[in-house]
A = this chain, B = another copy of it.
Amino acid sequence: MTNSGSERPGEFELIAELFAPLATGAGAFGLRDDAAIATPPAGHDLVVTADALVEGVHFFASDPPELIARKALRVNLSDLAAKGCIPSGYLLTLSLPSHIDGLWLRAFANGLAQDQGSFGISLLGGDTTATPGPLTIAVTAFGHVPEGKMLRRADARAGDLVFVSGTLGDAGGGLACLKEEAGPSNAADRAYLVDRFQLPQPRIALGQALVGLASASIDVSDGLVADLGHIAESSSVRVQIEAARVPLSPPLKALWGTSQDTIVRAATAGDDYEIAFTAPPENRGFVRGAAVGSGVPVTEVGRCEAEEGVILVDEKEREIPVSRSGYVHF
């Protein structure tokens, strides 16, 4: 763990004090070295991913620090989940503006600690620097998967079925509630949707269960259509999504209704952090078993065909126009 660029030494001492207990892994050396060891278990590949959150772009400055910390971890863990990995640790690079105080940092560290416990991971190190700009949280997460078994984007084949976990559009609905764009909704529905926006649920157990079953996999961060578009492009297949099958939660239906427009919105809203994946038809039963075993509902939403691209179709297989295929952040 290193730090630089600050004339606020007290703050960096506080960070050292707050973060040292988070270095639970042997390779972290208690954050008292310049580097960490992240060797995967024998017979496993080490999988790495990085995602950053920026104040005013990915979260509101007024969001609870615990939630910001947990979301920063979880967007990375969601990538590992979709790749079939068991997460093991992370590096944290914090660029801190001067308005961040000790109280904020303590709450942020509490959020990290809470999710480290939930996901069995350790802080391995990182960097802390001052910044004149917005709070920026860059995480690199590590996981492992049996050698050669990482779920890729590129291995879908024509004829494969297309599935998605959970429900879609909830985070988009939650963001609308926070921005007060939303119409009236009861308090429980609102809380559910806001929670889905603020606290993604990485589908770790499901992702692991899909190793050997799914042909291609991605987490839904940019929106179902955009992310399945990535699979289509990498795999050179066409992904056809049946609009009527896109899974929507009751609170989202209460908020946005069930029109075709709602479905398009749900299929193009981002930040869902569900897993979208493909699997050959003969694995359909095993996929159902994986869903039951991991406690996460999985819905069959379409299929892969020859050709290319991604399309959303109605019950008569007519293409539904989708004006934007990905998410634009606030």
Contact = CB atoms under 8 A, between A and B. Distances in A.
Interface stretch (A42-50, A108-116, A175-183, A256-264): A42-50
A131 B56 CA distance: 8
Contacts of A320: none
A142 to B, nearest CB: 8
A299 interface: no
A34 B47 CA distance: 10
Interface in A26-63: 29, 32-40, 44-52, 54, 56-58
Interface in A163-205: none
A129 interface: yes
Nearest to A94: B52
Contact of A132 (B51, B56, B93): B56
A80 B129 contact: no
Interface string A112-153: 000000000000111101111110101010100001001011
State the number of copies, please: 2
Contacts of A95: 52, 54, 136, 138
Interface residues of A, number: 66
A47 B58 contact: no
Given A33-B154, A54-B130, A131-B133, 11 more contacts: A4-B329, A29-B152, A34-B79, A35-B47, A37-B46, A38-B47, A39-B45, A50-B138, A56-B132, A131-B134, A140-B140
Interface of A: 2, 4-7, 29, 32-40, 44-52, 54, 56-58, 79-80, 82-83, 85, 91-93, 95, 97, 124-127, 129-134, 136, 138, 140, 142, 147, 150, 152-154, 218-219, 221-222, 234, 270, 327-329
23 contacts: A4-B221, A4-B329, A5-B54, A5-B58, A6-B329, A29-B154, A33-B152, A34-B49, A35-B48, A39-B46, A46-B46, A48-B91, A48-B124, A48-B140, A50-B92, A50-B125, A51-B127, A54-B133, A57-B132, A58-B129, A95-B138, A131-B134, A136-B136
